[in-house]
């Protein structure tokens, strides 16, 4: 077997590790992989162009930015912070655990488009988490604020990934069903989505515990 | 019928406006980058594959040479924002909620009522199209309600897209890399390597290699969808199901979730891990991944146990 196409993977790993521009890394890896698999360079560029063009729908979602930017101009982030500051008993840990539960449940019911980084995390969840952390622990240095915001984004990801497969009409469930059916094992989407529940519960337990531990650690760092 | 092409025109207009504003601001790199992307949205369907490929190389050249910079269009001061927030209160959240509600409620209505038979939207494309409609509705509503300067949404949008920069097209570029990997047969090679390292006769270790292969190959591809068919056909189906008699539903469902643990750990899953770092203006590009390691690694181990117990111990 020709193992040379794997050089593309090595380029990706090295390129990211050495902090070259990721777009440059990805395209170099694509060109190297194609050429090492025995395609000629023009054919690889054509394949790359076709695939980039076929996947334009991924980048369409940026059309939401004017809406978010406009609301930020009128104080959306400030309002999100103010709401948390006015709430008694609101801590960063409790807030993110609540958001995790909300995101998992909504995704499990098929509403995975509620939430997301541009729509919810940047304008709402991250400022709220930051405000709650400052409220409990006092003023925080920049690196601690960055950690809080990163944890808000991480919570959105965990909630989405380990909620969405409980909904049976989702792309990943259909993909599993398709692969197994063509191998002669017909499964119903419901069988698959039921087996997503144990992992979902463990994901909630693990991540909720980590978020609360992170909140306590922030507090200790200040004293 | 409303198709993705309509959305591409909408996105093309947005990026064209950002290109013009960048040029007026004398940020030539940004102007060229957003203009090329706009061209891709407007005319990508009519260009040859080679022309699209050259367009991709040009985009990458601009980004690789450091041509994209953050911008600083005129906006409100923090004090003004505080005052607006106090005056407008929680009503500010409404337009932000219009977009997801339109997408979700619209999709549910379209799927589960006779509306779907009207054929108004391209099949299986309704959610993203409704998202676009939601954006237009929220934008129109906010403009009428707050009466900002006419160019404010364009300038505020430019500030955000420039802060995201090249990361804005990284997810799309990675999808293209996945397609090239598929043509080059990378999946078959990885599947073969994974089969080669499995010790004969141990069900538990085979489960470990299957789950590790799902997570590892997902980290390489940035996407569990690309890893699943490879690992399922290399290990999951021939070994775990056919040879050892495991429960297919558990192996399929939890195998995919083991892959999702890999998604939490890789910069290749740019839209989940790198884009938010840019959106939140974090100093460390990998800050989100760092916060996810402590959840992803134990959860992966839990998935191994769930497969072993659920597909073998409880099943037989």
Say whether both B17 and B150 belong to one domain: yes
Q: What is the number of domains present in chain A?
A: 2
* A40 and A136 housed in the same domain: no
**Residue A222: band (very low, low, confident or very high) from pLDDT cuts 50, 70, 90:** low
Residues A208 and A157 occupy one common structural domain: yes
In this predicted structure, what is the pLDDT of residue A19? Answer: 83
Coil/strand/helix, residue B121: strand
- The answer to whether B316 touches B274, Cβ cutoff 8 Å, is no
Of B179, B283, B310, which is closest to A146 when you measure between CB atoms? B283
B283 touches chain A (CB under 8 A): yes
pLDDT-derived band of residue A223, with 50, 70 and 90 as boundaries? very low
Give the C-alpha separation, B260 to B187, whole Å: 18
Q: Which of B249, B257, B287 sits opposite A191 (nearest CB)?
A: B249
| B121 found inside a domain | yes
* A112 and A98 inside one domain: yes
Rg (CA), chain B: 24
- Residues B23 and B157 grouped into a single domain: yes
The whole domain housing A43 covers 4-55
Residue A221, pLDDT score: 65
Same-domain check for residues A47 and A76? no
Cα radius of gyration (chain A): 22
Q: What is the ipTM of this complex?
A: 0.90
Distance from CA of B138 to the nearest CA of A (A): 7
* pLDDT band at residue B196 under the 50/70/90 scheme: confident
Query: Domain check: are A15 and A71 in the same one?
Result: no
B38/B35 Cα distance (integer angstroms): 5
Contacts for B85-94: CB closer than 8 Å, 24+ residues apart? B85/A74, B85/A75, B85/A76, B85/A78, B85/A79, B85/A82, B86/A75, B86/A82, B88/A74, B88/A75, B88/A79, B89/A79, B90/A79, B90/A83, B92/A71, B92/A74, B92/A75, B92/A76, B92/A79, B93/A76, B93/A79, B93/A80, B93/A124
Query: Among residues A160, A158, A151, which one has the least CA distance to residue A215?
Result: A151
For the stretch A47-65, pLDDT in tens is: 999 999 999 988 998 999 9
| Chain A residue closest in CA terms to B232 | A179
Residue A98: pLDDT band by 50, 70, 90 thresholds?
A: very high
User: How far, in Å, CA of B34 to CA of B166, rounded?
Assistant: 10
Residue A20: CA atoms inside 13 Å, Cβ hemisphere, count? 16
pTM: 0.88
Same domain, A100 and A157: yes
Of A55, A75, A98, the one marking the end of a domain is: A55
A17 and A106 part of one domain: no
Closest CA to B128 of B106, B154, B98, B160: B106
Residues B4 and B91 in one domain: yes
For residue B138, which residues of chain A lie inside 8 Å, CB to CB?
A: 67
Decide which of B106, B133, B165 is a domain's last residue: B165
Query: By CB neighbour count within 10 A (0-12 exposed, 13-18 middle, 19+ buried), where does B256 fall?
Result: buried
pLDDT exceeds 60 at position B110: yes
| Residue B172 C-alpha, separation from nearest chain A C-alpha, in angstroms | 6
Q: How many CB pairs under 8 A join A and B?
A: 426
A-proximal residues of B, 248-267, CB under 8 Å: 248-250, 252-257, 260, 263-264, 267
Residue from A166, A164, A190 nearest A177 by CA: A190
């Amino acid at each position: 077997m020709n193992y040379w196409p794997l050089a593309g993977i090595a380029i990706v790993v090295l390129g990211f590790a050495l902090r070259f521009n990721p777009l440059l890394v990805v395209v170099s890896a694509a060109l190297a992989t194609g050429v090492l698999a025995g395609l000629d360079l023009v054919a690889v560029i054509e394949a790359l162009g076709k695939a980039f063009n076929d996947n334009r729908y991924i980048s369409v979602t940026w059309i939401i930015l004017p809406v978010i930017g406009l609301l930020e101009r009128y104080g959306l982030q400030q309002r999100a912070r103010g709401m948390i500051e006015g709430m008694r008993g609101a801590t960063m840990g409790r807030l993110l655990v609540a958001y995790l539960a909300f995101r998992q449940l909504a995704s499990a019911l098929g509403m995975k488009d509620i939430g997301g980084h541009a729509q919810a995390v940047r304008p709402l969840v991250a400022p709220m988490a930051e405000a709650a952390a400052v409220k409990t622990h006092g003023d925080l240095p920049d690196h601690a604020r960055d950690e809080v915001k990163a944890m808000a984004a991480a919570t959105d990801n965990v909630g989405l990934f380990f909620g969405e497969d409980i909904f049976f009409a989702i792309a990943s469930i259909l993909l599993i069903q398709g692969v197994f059916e063509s191998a002669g094992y017909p499964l119903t989407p419901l069988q698959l989505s039921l087996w997503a529940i144990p992992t979902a519960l463990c994901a909630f337990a693990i991540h909720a515990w980590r978020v609360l531990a992170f909140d306590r650690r922030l507090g200790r760092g200040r004293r | 019928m409303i198709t993705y092409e309509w959305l591409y025109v909408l996105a093309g207009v947005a990026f064209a406006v950002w290109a013009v504003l960048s040029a007026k601001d004398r940020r030539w790199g940004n102007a060229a980058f957003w203009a090329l992307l706009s061209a891709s949205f407007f005319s990508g369907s009519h260009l040859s594959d080679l022309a699209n490929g050259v367009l991709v190389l040009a985009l990458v050249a601009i980004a690789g040479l450091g041509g994209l910079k953050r911008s600083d269009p005129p906006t409100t001061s923090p004090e003004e924002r505080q005052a607006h927030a106090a005056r407008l209160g929680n009503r500010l959240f409404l337009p932000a909620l219009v977009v997801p509600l339109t997408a979700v409620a619209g999709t549910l209505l379209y799927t589960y009522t006779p509306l779907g038979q009207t054929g108004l939207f391209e099949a299986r494309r309704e959610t993203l199209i409704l998202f676009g409609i939601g954006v237009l509705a929220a934008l129109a509503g906010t403009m009428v309600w707050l009466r900002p300067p006419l160019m404010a949404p364009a300038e505020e949008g430019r500030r955000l897209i420039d802060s995201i920069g090249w990361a804005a097209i990284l997810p799309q570029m990675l999808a293209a890399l996945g397609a090239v990997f598929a043509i080059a047969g990378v999946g078959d090679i990885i599947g073969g390597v994974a089969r080669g390292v499995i010790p004969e006769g141990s069900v538990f270790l085979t489960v470990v290699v299957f789950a590790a292969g799902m997570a590892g190959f997902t980290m390489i591809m940035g996407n569990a969808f690309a890893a699943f068919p490879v690992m399922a056909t290399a290990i999951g189906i021939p070994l775990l199901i056919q040879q050892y008699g495991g429960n297919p539903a558990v192996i399929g469902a939890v195998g995919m979730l083991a892959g999702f643990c890999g998604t939490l750990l890789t910069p290749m899953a740019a839209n989940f891990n790198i884009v938010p770092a840019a959106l939140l203006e974090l100093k460390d590009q990998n800050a989100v991944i760092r916060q996810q390691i402590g959840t992803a690694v134990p959860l992966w181990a839990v998935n191994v146990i769930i497969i072993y117990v659920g597909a073998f111990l409880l099943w037989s």
